[in-house]
Chain A
Amino acid sequence: MTINHKSVRWRHIFVCCHFFLSISMTLSAQDLLVSGQVTDGHLPISGATVLIKSTTKGVVSDFDGRYSITAKPTDTLQISYLGYTTLTIPIQNRSTINVILKEDATALGEVQINAGYYSTTDREKTGSIARITAKDIELQPVNNPLGAMQGYMSGVNIVQNTGVPGGGFNVEVRGKNFINGVSDPLFIVDGVPFGSQSLGDFQVSGEIFSGNISPLNSINPNDIESIEVLKDADATAIYGSRGANGVVLITTKKGRAGKTRFDAHLSTSIGKVSNFLDLLNTKQYLEIRREGIDNDGVGLMLESSLYDFFWPDIKLWDNDRYTDWQKELIGGTAYRNNAQLSVSGGSAQNQFLISGGYHNETTVFPGDSKYRKASIHSNFTHQSNDNRFKINLSTNYAYENNLMPQADFTAKAYSLEPNAPALYDDQGNLNWENNTWENPLASLEERFEATSKNLITNAMISYTILPDMELRSSMGLSSYQFDTYRTMPSSARNPGYGLTPQSYSYLTSNNSQRESWIVEPQINWQKKWDKLSLNILIGSTFQQESTEKLILRGRGFPNNELLLNIAAAQEIQAVSNLDSEYSYIAIFGRINLKVLDRYIINLTGRRDGSSRFGPGKQFGNFGALGMAWLFSEETFLKNSSILSFGKLRASYGTTGSDNIGDYRFLDTYTVTGSNYDGITLVKPTGIFNPLFGWEENQKLETALELGFFKDRLLMNTSWYKNRSSNQLVGIPLAATTGFSELTGNFDAIVENSGLELDLLTVNMRSETFKWSTNFNLTIPKNKLVAFDGLEASTFANRYVIGKPLTILKLYHALGVDPKTGLYQFRDYDGDGNYSSIGDRQWVEDLTPRWYGGFGNSLSFGNVTFDVFFQFKKQKAYNTVRFDATPGFKKNTSVELYNRWQQAGDQNPFQRASAGMAGGQDLGALQQESSASVSDASFIRLRNISLNYKIPYLINKSEVNVYLQGQNLWTLTNYIGPDPEQPNPRLPPLRQITLGVQLVF
């Protein structure tokens, strides 16, 4: 029994509450008191719903699974619990009925799916919603919820940016919709929109994280109950102008009625870099270096000692020395510890859950860098005795502290000369080898620290004023504070420069915060007739968000010990002080009509107003129509022994995107924080453009959902086609305008279409053995359909109509000329030389051709074995992108040893050069050519875990021990660091985790 399977989702309670509405509390003479216990045949199930069929009267089982209900002797009981097959049992005058529920692997009709403003089920949903639950998240040793989603959902492409703890992710739902701008979906945590954009600043966190520090790190994955990704128009149109890129709903755990329950979860992981590059050794390196200098015609200079300083690697450093810099700089072991304790329980009226987590993580870098996170999550639910008034309060708070070197060592590890000097001298000080090199460990003297505090809290109040009408309002608050600093002490610089703390030492800090509140009052009315049921929702949204960012730089400190105290700086400069406000208002609605339990129509709409647009362009309308036909309910299929479920659904609608930053329509001057002659400066920062409006996105989807053999095989196939128009584009401007870009609507259409397949099978199911398989596959296609005046526009050299947005235009590499030993390229324009405009005509696309995941779960009694593979068919930049000319003063891939040396040689790399020859740098063109892109498809064993449940310890307590591996194995042809992370940044690590879960 896994922990979460039996917890009662609040949505579940919410649905149940409708049944309570018309409970008559009086006990009439004919009524019978029926009682009993609900179990799974083994352990009691608390929180199961026991309902009198065809009425709205029901109760919930208590801590020990016991229930009692008054009913007529002729009534039928319907007993349901999340994740279990619903049972219907006629009372037949019995007063004791014990129920054994069977676990249902698929449970189409039971599992409540969060669709944001309403909930639905797999059976009745009209839209496309992908879902991952605590069960899949919990055992993955990830720090960011996005990490747990990788590979599990069709249509959702997630790429981890870095293996450095606390870094970010890129998320795309059904492809890139917009030419420029963010493709991030809208994130909503417990009903509160969550700004997923990093507040990091390049000046502070640029070198370690490229500025990208995901605020979602501050959500503890262990506190998450489920993550739903809304994909199609039917599901996203109710989010209007913010739904174009999809919506990610994160729901945290709730308490449930029953005895007080303690859950403890401890785990520890070790991680290593999964793949090192093959680089030149010292002998090969120096051989190529000398050859390059000779080839450049300056070999004589090499003889003279006058120029020794020019090539210290050859003339001044030990030519026999060899250091494996990858081992030295990124070869360490990263440790990760995670502890989580939660207490939950409550009565039928009040439920609670409080949990605390602590997480720490070290890196593979030298030094004592570490990442720590402490989080608290709580949830309280109360229902009045008549169940008409309900309130739920959820609060998530997390504190993160990330202490890292200010730069990622990975690029250095790939490029440091193999005979570069020792890091430390005999006294243990940084070795500068007579000022002939930049010691990479100087970076350890430069601290980077990021601290974030994140609070998300939401209250949901509801009151049932009429039996079929409920009023409710959700009120949320989120506050994210992010403070980082980076130091540059003089001690981290080559002492030859003679820098002193007074003249040089710097502290740059970034203090940012984002606060928002949201209020969403809603009315929900639902009515059931004989063959018809209708559900109407009307609501309104008021939201405000403010962001502030203050970047300070202090310079000149009495000594480096005082470097963290900006007050000690001789000069303090306010580099920038940004603030922005965003206001948002909307009304939205939904009409859901169900006829004969098999024809469903779902109509959603929203009218939005946003402060991000100029006068007259602030409001926009969005809406969608979704339809479903449960054809397996038709009489001719109803009793089919093969087909147990069949649904055809389709949806069409419009959504939008206002994800373009605040105040972009104004022509502004910005205070820069610098001064000239004591006068504060203002600089021009925008061109007035009041005419820009929403980006529009039209989504069309049809899907076929099938269940066979009593739903033991579930197959979901969807096809979608989304068209995005009225693109808000940062149109690159010629420098002659004084600006580099202007944001405006552009008449261009981008189409994303694709096929998604989800398969879930229960291959075997018996008392002691269960084997289930899941598989998902996405075949996306992206195309620029139309672009008015592309040829004449500033995008002429970036896009091609009919090709994806993600193309690269490259030189077409034709290999090395055996005569000259130089790279050759196709001269497209035939003008006799290679230029970017005329000759970069080779088109490559780096978006995945297809991707997906494949998982198996096997359980034999107390042992559960899970294995999950992720796969992608794609191309990526290879190591040619880093270096293409052998002989420069930096280490390279060992492939470059295979170079042209004399006329007639047929080698993939051109003749060595130390960069001192004349003429065009053909190596640089090769780095931008078709040779720099190659296949980077992979199959990766993302997750493998073995879980053992120790049987019968103490009464009703439970102990699980598990061993989990992450990224243990990858099958790929890729030539480079990692097929998922082709940049010279730390790739995702390979990890092994040992964990224990206790419940008592």
Chain B
Amino acid sequence: MRILKIIKSGHMTHRRAFAGMNRLLLFTFPFFLSLIWLGCSDFINVDPPKNNLISVTVFKDPATVESAMANLYYSMREQGMTSGSFGLTPVLSIYGDELDYYGFNADQTQLYNHNHSADNNVLWGWWQQAYYLIYGANDIIRGVESSNDLSVDEKKAFHGQALFVRGYVHSLLVSLFGDVPYVNSTNYRENNTVARMAEEKVYDSIIRDLTDAVELLEGIEPISKRRIWPDRYVAKALLARMYLYTENWEMATSTASELIDHFPLETNLSNTFLKGSPETIWQLAADENFPNNTREAGTLIIQTVPGQTYALTDALLASFENGDLRYDNWIGNVSDSNNTTTLYYPHKYKAGVNEKESLEYSILFRSAEQVLIRSEARAHMGNLTGSQTDLNSIRNRAGLSNTTVTTAHGLLEAIQRERRVELFAEQGHRWFDLKRTANAGRALTDLKPNWQETDILLPIPEAELEINPNLLPQNPGY
């Protein structure tokens, strides 16, 4: 129905339509005039809201790009896989053999009992958050590349960091879910129907991104010296981990070596997780408002029994050798009022919610991991002495004597044991180690009556399969 012919606008542009109106009004109602002055089509062009920036504007100024970059690290700290509250640290610890779960969250209970299904909300949250970060990184890459207002160094710094973030998040996804989409564009049409990429190819892409990132970040100083913004070393640390996962022992050795030289181990175990620890390669700054310190401490430290959510498993406690200083320094305990039950908890992060000072940040990469990476890679390459040296540097720091193992096979087992007690309740290291060394079944069959071999991969979130059928088939067993 184009009844508007009455007001003769049907065949006119809107400007002229109102001008026609205008003439009529001029004769009749001077009052109209002042309103017409407001303009017609201009009248409905409103300024952008003050809390929003149009995308193009963001990439005109290095300060706003920094804000967009900072948002990624903030989000990593608060949500998803890398966060201390519902992230890999607590959840993979209960999925594996490190923590028992006493809480009432249905999704975590499922994962603890290994009767989880594809509609598990923790997993969906991880998935969504991961690709949100990846989009953020890709948009920064896109924006920075097309910007004419940033200097070459600024572009390198942002581009390099964004590549690292993209690689890092994909590395966690591929370890958890197997084949996953590798997303490197911001085009929503493509990304909405993207298919899964084979695991090896994902690793190739990650390594390519990280190599580029190292190159771009070469010679670029991070925004802060507190190791809270990823720099070239952080990219290298992840690269070393990726080489280990893909069994590229040579590259793993050489890459880890650079980091070990640069980030010496903290000799005092009670200082390892302080924010100024020399062995930290990358950490996420704590929220200066609240909780001032890490989410990990708030999540893992048991305040009262009953009232606990997580507690260390007997299996983990038993895996410490006698005299291991890490047992004394990194494990806390609390008993109920009758002293009938004593529960143990990870106490690497000690600063709780009532701590006013900011003492600790959430550490994502530290050089103890690099030492163990090199030790493992060397054992595989047959450099047993080198491997022992690395292993011993970790053991000695924990007050333990040198390893007595001399065979490559024995060393590899010793390294896994060492990783277990060194890296426990940290970013899911234990689970990833069980998975890549094909030891998960052996470790979990007794502990988890519902254990199935297919639990080695987590299910792709059901809601995502519904929206994007190209993600099918689901991982086996779900």
Whole-angstrom distance between the Cβ of A668 and the nearest chain B Cβ: 4
Partner of B51, one of A310, A312, A670, A677: A670
Please tell me if A587 contacts chain B, counting CB pairs below 8 Å. yes
Cα-based distance from A919 to B116 in the complex (angstroms): 8
Query: Per-position contact with A for B138-149: 1 when CB-CB < 8 Å, else 0?
Result: 110000000000
Query: Per-position contact with A for B251-292: 1 when CB-CB < 8 Å, else 0?
Result: 000000000000000000000000000000000010111100
Is B131 a contact partner of A736 (Cβ separation < 8 A)?
yes
Is A667 a contact partner of B54 (Cβ separation < 8 A)?
yes
CB neighbours (8 Å) of B2 from chain A are: 621, 623
CB neighbours (8 Å) of B322 from chain A are: none
Please tell me if B393 contacts chain A, counting CB pairs below 8 Å. no
Query: Per-position contact with B for A650-678: 1 when CB-CB < 8 Å, else 0?
Result: 00111000000011001111111011111
Please tell me if B300 contacts chain A, counting CB pairs below 8 Å. no
Please tell me if B466 contacts chain A, counting CB pairs below 8 Å. yes
Cα-based distance from A662 to B130 in the complex (angstroms): 28
Partner of B31, one of A521, A662, A672: A521
Given contacts A607-B7, A607-B17, contact A668 B55 (CB under 8 A): yes
Given contacts A542-B35, A623-B1, A676-B70, contact A684 B139 (CB under 8 A): yes
Cα-based distance from A566 to B461 in the complex (angstroms): 41
Query: Per-position contact with A for B463-476: 1 when CB-CB < 8 Å, else 0?
Result: 01111110100100
Which residue of A498, A625, A677 has the most chain B CB atoms within 10 A of its CB atom? A677
Is A653 a contact partner of B1 (Cβ separation < 8 A)?
yes
CB neighbours (8 Å) of B38 from chain A are: 542
Is B139 a contact partner of A677 (Cβ separation < 8 A)?
no
Cα-based distance from A720 to B450 in the complex (angstroms): 57
Cα-based distance from A309 to B341 in the complex (angstroms): 10
CB neighbours (8 Å) of A579 from chain B are: 49-51
Partner of B6, one of A591, A654, A679, A919: A591
Question: Within residues 14 to 59 of chain B, which ones have a CB less than 8 A from any CB in chain A?
Answer: 14, 17-18, 21, 24-25, 28-29, 31-32, 35, 38, 40-41, 43-55, 58
In this complex, the interface size class of chain A, counting residues with CB under 8 Å from chain B, is: 35 or more
With both beta carbons as reference points, the residue of chain A lying nearest to B56 in the complex is identified as: A667
Residue count of chain B within 8 Å CB distance of chain A:
107
Cα-based distance from A920 to B305 in the complex (angstroms): 30
Please tell me if A993 contacts chain B, counting CB pairs below 8 Å. no
Given contacts A609-B14, A676-B285, contact A915 B109 (CB under 8 A): yes
Is A587 a contact partner of B17 (Cβ separation < 8 A)?
yes
Cα-based distance from A509 to B465 in the complex (angstroms): 38
Cα-based distance from A231 to B339 in the complex (angstroms): 72
Cα-based distance from A415 to B21 in the complex (angstroms): 64
Is A737 a contact partner of B191 (Cβ separation < 8 A)?
yes
Cα-based distance from A71 to B414 in the complex (angstroms): 118
Cα-based distance from A496 to B228 in the complex (angstroms): 34
Is A521 a contact partner of B67 (Cβ separation < 8 A)?
no
Given contacts A465-B28, A623-B2, A740-B128, contact A916 B44 (CB under 8 A): no
Is B114 a contact partner of A738 (Cβ separation < 8 A)?
no
Please tell me if A785 contacts chain B, counting CB pairs below 8 Å. no
Which residue of A237, A667, A681 has the most chain B CB atoms within 10 A of its CB atom? A681
Cα-based distance from A673 to B44 in the complex (angstroms): 29
Whole-angstrom distance between the Cβ of B15 and the nearest chain A Cβ: 10
Is B289 a contact partner of A309 (Cβ separation < 8 A)?
no
Cα-based distance from A913 to B25 in the complex (angstroms): 77
Given contacts A571-B289, A667-B54, A915-B109, contact A621 B117 (CB under 8 A): no
Is B128 a contact partner of A735 (Cβ separation < 8 A)?
yes
CB neighbours (8 Å) of B68 from chain A are: 669, 681-684
Query: Per-position contact with B for A830-844: 1 when CB-CB < 8 Å, else 0?
Result: 000001110000000
Whole-angstrom distance between the Cβ of A442 and the nearest chain B Cβ: 15
Cα-based distance from A556 to B290 in the complex (angstroms): 9
CB neighbours (8 Å) of B10 from chain A are: 621
Please tell me if B404 contacts chain A, counting CB pairs below 8 Å. no
Partner of A918, one of B113, B131, B193: B113
- List 10 additional contacts besides A496-B303, A669-B54, A669-B55; criterion CB under 8 Å: A581-B49, A583-B46, A585-B40, A603-B3, A619-B14, A623-B4, A736-B131, A738-B186, A738-B188, A837-B466
Q: What residues make up the interface of B, taking CB atoms closer than 8 Å to A?
A: 1-4, 6-7, 9-10, 14, 17-18, 21, 24-25, 28-29, 31-32, 35, 38, 40-41, 43-55, 58, 64, 66-68, 70-71, 73-75, 77, 102, 109-110, 113-115, 117-119, 127-128, 130-132, 134-136, 138-139, 181, 183, 186, 188, 191-194, 223-224, 226, 228-229, 285, 287-290, 303-307, 336-337, 340-341, 353-354, 449-450, 461-462, 464-469, 471, 474, 478
